[in-house]
């Protein structure tokens, strides 16, 4: 089952690409926020560690400003953590199931 937003995503490649971008931004920012909360670090504190304004950090977290890989590395360094990254096929599970059924 799916909803109207999923239908929108499947309408064309442009929509699918936009969702892929927003999905990654959401996942990265949520993970960073979680790390900040666990470490008790506020936006202002992160901003001062990076030498940026609080507004700059807010824009990164809202997705209105593009976060480059360099910025991500800087944030992780400021939070004293290491990002982990992997790329996998979206339907790997389904493919495996199909292979097993054969």
Number of Cβ atoms within 10 Å of the Cβ of 19: 15
Cβ proximity to other proteins: between 14 and 69 the closer is 14
Q: Pick from 13, 25, 68, 86: which binds other proteins (CB under 8 A)?
A: 25
Residue 14 in the binding site for other proteins (CB under 8 A): yes
Please count the CA atoms within 13 angstroms of the CA of 24 that sit on its side-chain side. Answer: 13
In 3D space, the residue among 83, 81, 82, 73 whose CA is nearest the CA of residue 50 turns out to be: 73
Q: How far apart are CA 1 and CA 71, in angstroms?
A: 38
Helix (H) or strand (E) holding 47: helix 43-50
Of 26-55, which residues contact other proteins (CB under 8 A)?
26-27, 29-30, 33-34, 37
Cβ proximity to other proteins: between 2 and 102 the closer is 2
Of 64-83, which residues contact other proteins (CB under 8 A)?
64
Site residues, other proteins (CB under 8 A):
1-9, 14-15, 18-19, 21-23, 25-27, 29-30, 33-34, 37, 58, 61-64
């Amino acid at each position: 089952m799916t909803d109207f937003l999923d239908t929108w995503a499947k309408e064309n490649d442009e929509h699918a690409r936009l969702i892929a971008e927003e999905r990654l931004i959401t996942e990265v920012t949520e993970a960073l926020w979680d790390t900040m909360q666990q470490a008790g670090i506020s936006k202002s504190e992160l901003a001062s560690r990076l030498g940026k304004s609080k507004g700059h950090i807010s824009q990164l977290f809202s997705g209105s400003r593009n976060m480059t890989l360099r910025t991500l590395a800087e944030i992780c360094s400021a939070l004293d953590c290491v990002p982990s990254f992997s790329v996998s096929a979206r339907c790997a599970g389904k493919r495996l199931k199909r292979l097993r059924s054969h």
